[in-house]
Amino acid sequence: TLIRPAQTYGGAGFVVPSVGNGTYVMKRLRQGQPIIIHGDGTSVWVACHRNDVANAFVNAIGNQAAFGQGYNVTGEEWMTFDTYWRMIAKALGAPEPKFVHIPTDTLSRLLPGRAEWCKENFMHNNIFDNTAAHRDLGFRYTVKWEDGIRSVIGELDKTNAIESCSDEPYYDLLLKAWDKCSDQLKLDCAGLDN
């Protein structure tokens, strides 16, 4: 039996930033600082709470119908990455987020180690069909993203586990370099649209 979850979260983690990993992007949101979103923010993503994913795994044990089968066990609220991060900001009690969109292929060339997963996965829409898991494993998507992420933030806040932005200095350096590059492109392209 093969079970394929997408983003699985719960407890004290986790969120999926476009660049790097960790919770510092949540701190940036709380502080009203810009965050990087790959592409134009419209690629589609799903997340599923660990409790829902765990039930599917448990229901697969000894299940004759599941032998030799493959199942998607994913969230069922498809959201753009912009929406994903807006909902995180709302759950954090943060101001409306400021997004800096950087083309995915450019981002992966600039920071190949920190943006590799972004290029491999996030630039494509992640939409899955859970029908077989519903049928054979009794899978149910019960924890809505808004409720689940609010719970995760509560756990992170209890232990003061949201990392400081200063722990990831590359992030501000990348934003500064992107602004400088954008400004130079404007100068270089001045008059080309006439």
For residue 192, is it within any domain? no
For residue 150, is it within any domain? yes
Torsion of CA 168, 148, 41, 76, to 10 degrees: 140
Q: What is the pLDDT of residues 119-167, one digit of tens each?
A: 888 888 999 999 999 999 999 999 999 999 999 999 999 999 998 878 7
Mean pLDDT throughout 36-63?
Answer: 96
CB 77, CB 46: distance < 8 Å: yes
For residue 81, is it within any domain? yes
DSSP letter string, 169-187: HHHHHHHHHHHHHHHHHHH
- What does the pLDDT read at residue 1? 95
How many whole angstroms separate alpha carbon 73 and alpha carbon 76? 9
Q: What is the pLDDT of residues 13-29, one digit of tens each?
A: 778 899 988 899 999 99
For residue 194, is it within any domain? no
- What does the pLDDT read at residue 15? 87
Parent domain of 99:
2-187
For residue 19, is it within any domain? yes
Q: What is the pLDDT of residues 68-124, one digit of tens each?
A: 999 999 999 999 999 999 999 999 999 999 999 999 999 999 999 999 888 888 888
For residue 23, is it within any domain? yes
Residue 40, pLDDT above cutoff 80: yes
